[in-house]
Amino acid sequence: MPTIARLPDLLISQIAAGEVVERPASVLKELLENSLDAGSTAIQVHLEEGGVKLIRITDDGCGIARDELALALTRHATSKIASLDDLERVASFGFRGEALASVAAVARLAITSRERGAAHAWKLRGENGAEPEPAALMAGTVVEMRDLYYNTPARRKFLKSESTEFAHCADAVRRLALTRPDVAISLTHNGRSLFQLAPADRARRIAEVVGDDFVTASRTVDAAAGPISLTGFAIDPTRASEAKDGQNVFVNGRFVRDKIIGHALREAYRDVLHGARQPAVCLFLEIDPGLVDVNVHPAKTEVRFRDSRAVHQFVYHAIQRTLATPIQATEPAPVN
């Protein structure tokens, strides 16, 4: 008879990490979301070797109290929800309390944080039995992840080239930059600065991140009906060749890959844009949080709508109407 035994904690976290920590970019996404959830207004990202060797995020958010640092690194510990009710109306990016624990299980993690009003910062290394040590930091939090998968060689083999991993990391930063134009964000790779974005309005941020050509060749989308609204930019069919294809779709501020919305977009463009499979769009859908479930997958890039037919129809009609409107009426706001 086989004997049944409980798995050790570290192994449980390493298994769970498979779902959250697919590659450096997924670590980066989780850390960026934590910084935004902490109310940061400026975030700096430093990467080395595609984020495999180092991911360092510096934010100016609320910080973590000394006595909660160790807790933040344990599984299922979160400050963001406390009940099922909270989960059903969750407005923060995080709520599962497993990102930091997962990262700590498959990489070397260190957190330095200074809570507002604290005399100084504290640093905690994510090693077993480590104690917080006094540290210097003006405010906010620095999270450092080094040597991803150093202790799980089987996972390391699935990493792609440095340039591929970096490209995914840069995408993760861009998506966050798109959803929060009010937050300053910078990205440095191997000591080279890729971008430094100051707080901006949305049109300007999109022009900086996706490209001026996209915004000037796009139509403004602005539609609402009851608990749902859609805003942003959609490429003008006659000018589609002027911008790269690519869809940035956000639901309640979260970047998602959603089949329903993707299909509605294709349908809306079908009659006017022959051949192009993925018309360039940058769209923000806002919907009552009670009508969408974000707790579908640990990485949260999938959502489930309570009434997906209604969402499909709404997006389809919003885009179709936008594309059918004479161009003068929908000139995008000047970007400069």
Binding site for ligand ADP (CB under 6 A): 30, 34-35, 38, 59, 61-64, 72, 77-80, 94-101, 141
Q: How far is the CB of 69 from Mg ion (least distance, A)?
A: 15
Shortest CA distance to 275 belongs to which of 227, 315, 241?
241
Largest CA distance in the chain: 76
Structure letter (DSSP) for residue 276: -
Shortest CA distance to 37 belongs to which of 254, 203, 288, 249?
254
Which residue of 13, 14, 26, 34 would you call a contact of Mg ion, by CB under 5 A? Answer: 34
Q: How many CB atoms lie within 10 A of CB 7?
A: 10
Whether 183 contacts 199, CB under 8 Å: yes
Q: How far is the CB of 104 from ligand ADP (least distance, A)?
A: 9
Q: Does 280 bind Mg ion (CB under 5 A)?
A: no
The entry of Mg ion, ligand ADP, none near residue 97 (CB within 5 to 8 angstroms by kind) is ligand ADP
C-beta of 141 vs 218, nearer to ligand ADP: 141
The entry of ligand ADP, Mg ion, none near residue 64 (CB within 5 to 8 angstroms by kind) is ligand ADP
Those residues whose C-beta lies under 8 Å from the C-beta of residue 278, and which sit 6 or more positions away, are 245, 246, 247
The entry of ligand ADP, Mg ion, none near residue 319 (CB within 5 to 8 angstroms by kind) is none
Q: How far is the CB of 82 from ligand ADP (least distance, A)?
A: 11
The entry of ligand ADP, Mg ion, none near residue 59 (CB within 5 to 8 angstroms by kind) is ligand ADP
E strands along the chain, which residues?
42-48, 54-59, 108-114, 121-125, 133-135, 140-146, 184-189, 192-197, 218-225, 228-235, 247-251, 254-255, 281-287, 292-293, 304-305
Choose the binding region for Mg ion from 32-40, 82-90, 112-120, 138-146 (rule: CB under 5 A).
32-40
Q: How far is the CB of 183 from ligand ADP (least distance, A)?
A: 13
Q: How far is the CB of 33 from Mg ion (least distance, A)?
A: 5
In this structure, what token pair is assigned to residue 260?
């329903």
| Site residues for Mg ion per CB under 5 A | 34, 94, 99
